[in-house]
């Protein structure tokens, strides 16, 4: 298995914090968000490589970071060549760029590089290993206002995805999706098909929302916290909680 960490966004809502620093390298309790993610990825026993995809503007920041750390799994930085929020490829476009440069002979884990979480990715992997189906993370959210700002997932009794809506005004379930995904090797060519059909390349959740309509996709309900650090206020709040 390989992993792609999506870190090519420009995080304009976090300005001025991210004017000269990529969001994934912002520190929480004096350690970059990216390190927390990699530390969880390397607990997965079949992990063979971690690929961090960056935009061109911040690529050197990630090269410097990669030179400064030592992990038992190789870390590779990919520069997607974009320079601003206006010409970005989008998360799904970035995934396809990596796949086009590095033909995958393994399954793939995709995770957002700006996610700070308190659950264990190894538990998610064990679920994936047991079901051997494409799957992603969900959490039970009771607050309807919060659900209206998220991807909302409908599941059957076996945790199979039977519905997926992005930011619905009337949520049909209390399960919200989060940006971590396991994909089987035979699913990976479908990223190009998705883009060829003119689908939205931006948010990574758009792909499983499309995929579940013709292929079995499952969800793992995690226990713990997962923070989307989108504003200076939310960044300060997470730092205050974990400092």
pLDDT (0 to 100) of residue 237: 86
Q: What is the domain partition of the chain in residue ranges?
A: 2-134+179-220+227-242
pLDDT (0 to 100) of residue 159: 93
pLDDT (0 to 100) of residue 8: 94
DSSP 23-66: GGG-EETTEEHHHHHHHHHTTSTT--EEEEEE-TTTHHHHHHHH
Mean pLDDT computed over 122-148: 93
pLDDT > 90 fraction of the chain, expressed in percent and rounded: 68
Closest-CA residue to 180 (of 241, 113, 83): 113
Give Dmax over CA atoms of the chain in angstroms: 47
pLDDT (0 to 100) of residue 150: 85
Burial classification of residue 121, based on how many CB atoms lie within 10 Å of its CB (0-12 exposed, 13-18 middle, 19 or more buried): buried
pLDDT (0 to 100) of residue 17: 84
CATH class held by domain 2-134+179-220+227-242: alpha beta
pLDDT for residue 71 is more than 90:
yes
pLDDT (0 to 100) of residue 19: 87
Average pLDDT, the chain: 92
pLDDT (0 to 100) of residue 24: 94
pLDDT digit string (tens) for 179-203?
Answer: 899 999 999 999 999 999 999 998 8
Mean pLDDT computed over 111-136: 93
pLDDT for residue 122 is more than 90:
yes
What is the number of residues in the chain? 243
Q: What is the CA radius of gyration of the chain?
A: 17
Mean pLDDT computed over 123-151: 92
What does the alpha-carbon distance between residue 9 and residue 26 come to, in Å, rounded to a whole number? 13
pLDDT (0 to 100) of residue 212: 94
pLDDT digit string (tens) for 210-234?
Answer: 999 999 999 999 988 888 787 888 8
For tokens 């209206």, what's the residue? 148
pLDDT digit string (tens) for 28-70?
Answer: 988 999 999 999 999 999 999 999 999 999 999 999 999 999 9
Closest-CA residue to 208 (of 131, 155, 144): 155
pLDDT > 70 fraction of the chain, expressed in percent and rounded: 100
Q: How far is CA 67 from CA 71, 76, 111, 193, in A?
A: 11, 10, 21, 35
């Amino acid at each position: 298995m390989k992993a792609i960490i999506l870190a090519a966004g420009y995080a304009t809502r976090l300005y001025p914090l991210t004017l000269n620093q990529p969001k994934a390298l912002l520190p929480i309790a004096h350690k970059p968000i990216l390190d927390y993610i990699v530390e969880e990825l390397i607990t997965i026993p079949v992990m063979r490589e971690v690929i961090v995809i960056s935009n061109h503007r911040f690529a050197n920041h990630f090269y410097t970071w990669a030179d400064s750390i030592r992990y038992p799994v190789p870390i590779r930085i990919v520069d997607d060549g974009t320079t601003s929020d206006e010409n970005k490829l989008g998360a799904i476009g970035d995934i396809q760029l990596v796949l086009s440069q590095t033909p995958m002979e393994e399954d793939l884990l995709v995770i957002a590089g700006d996610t700070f979480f308190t659950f264990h990715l190894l538990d998610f992997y064990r679920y994936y290993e047991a079901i051997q189906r494409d799957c992603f993370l969900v959490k039970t959210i009771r607050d309807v206002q919060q659900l209206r700002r998220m991807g909302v997932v409908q599941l059957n009794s076996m945790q199979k995805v039977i519905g997926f809506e992005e930011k619905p005004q009337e949520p049909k379930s209390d399960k919200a999706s989060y940006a971590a995904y396991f994909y089987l090797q035979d699913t990976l060519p479908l990223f190009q098909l998705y883009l060829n059909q003119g689908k939205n390349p931006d948010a990574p959740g758009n792909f499983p929302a499309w995929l579940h309509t013709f292929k079995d996709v499952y969800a793992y309900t995690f226990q713990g916290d997962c923070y989307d650090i989108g504003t200076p206020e939310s960044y300060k709040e997470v730092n205050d909680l974990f400092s």
